[in-house]
């Protein structure tokens, strides 16, 4: 039973044996919710490319579709960079290739049809490409076609992944203070933490304040 104070109307209705809560529950139970299953999950063009992509992956990658960008990227200092978080929160990418064992993302693939020539779509693509480039994560754009060459797609995938791996091998710039190191990934000051369990229980280390999105750690000598 609700502990909220009731008004005069509720008191009168209670004397008549009528409960506002019961009336609301009955109306909600009788309401026909406006949800229906879509007739298709992927468009015809996306489905056609998906079958090609799955054959090209051939166990080397797991193919996922319609992935939210916010499930792939995080925003450093989200509280102060909330506008940047809002810019990607409602966007998704067409395909993501993941490691089949760890499901760690390896490559984003965007299937570009004629609509991508529109100004609004071009602006969206530029934002998405810039976001992933900042995170040093590869994005491959493939134009929609009536047919695809599996060998050509395979070469493009391998080339994009190798190129990104080469970029990540470059030493990160450092802006460390005299006593507090910066996260190699986020480039923000790390925080001192202590391991609570495991083989290193009790030992102190530097951890990224963006944890768990970022799990970079540095030892404390």
84 and 101 inside one domain: yes
Give the closest residue to 182 by CA, choosing from 162, 210, 161, 150.
210
Per-residue pLDDT of the chain (221 residues; tens, 9 = 90+): 445 555 666 666 677 676 666 555 555 667 899 999 999 999 999 999 999 999 999 999 999 999 999 999 999 888 888 899 999 999 999 999 999 999 999 999 999 999 999 999 999 999 999 999 999 999 999 999 999 999 999 999 999 999 888 766 655 554 444 588 888 877 778 778 777 777 777 777 788 877 877 878 888 87
Note whether residue 26 is domain-resident. Answer: no
135 and 162 inside one domain: yes
104 and 202 inside one domain: no
| CATH code of the domain covering residue 159 | 3.40.960
160 and 191 inside one domain: no
DSSP 166-209: HHHTSPPP----SS-PBPTTT-SB-EEEE--SSTTTT-EEEE-T
Q: How many domains does the chain have?
A: 2
- Contact criterion met (CB below 8 Å) for 185 and 214: yes
Note whether residue 23 is domain-resident. Answer: no
Domain boundaries, position 204: 173-221
Note whether residue 33 is domain-resident. Answer: no
The tokens describing 49, both together, are: 């490319």
| Phi, psi angles (nearest 5°) of residue 216 | -70, 135
């Amino acid at each position: 039973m609700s502990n909220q104070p009731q008004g005069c109307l509720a008191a009168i209705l209670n004397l008549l044996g009528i409960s506002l809560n019961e009336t609301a529950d009955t109306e909600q139970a009788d309401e026909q919710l406006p949800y229906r299953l879509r007739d298709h999950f992927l468009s015809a063009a996306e489905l056609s490319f998906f079958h090609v992509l799955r054959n090209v992956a051939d166990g080397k990658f797991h193919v996922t579709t319609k992935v939210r960008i916010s499930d792939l990227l995080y925003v450093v200092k989200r509280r102060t960079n909330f506008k940047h978080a809002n810019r990607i929160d409602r966007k998704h990418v067409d395909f993501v290739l993941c490691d089949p064992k760890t499901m760690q993302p390896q490559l984003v693939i965007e299937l570009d049809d004629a609509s991508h020539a529109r100004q609004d779509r071009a602006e969206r693509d530029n934002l998405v490409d810039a976001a992933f480039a900042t995170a040093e994560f590869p994005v491959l754009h493939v134009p929609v076609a009536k047919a695809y060459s599996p060998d050509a797609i395979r070469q493009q995938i391998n080339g994009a992944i190798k190129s990104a791996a080469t970029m990540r091998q470059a030493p990160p710039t450092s802006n460390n203070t005299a006593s507090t190191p910066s996260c190699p990934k986020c480039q923000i000051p790390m925080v001192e933490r202590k391991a609570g369990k495991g083989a290193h229980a009790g030992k102190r280390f530097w951890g990224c304040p963006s944890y768990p999105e970022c799990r970079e750690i540095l030892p404390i000598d």
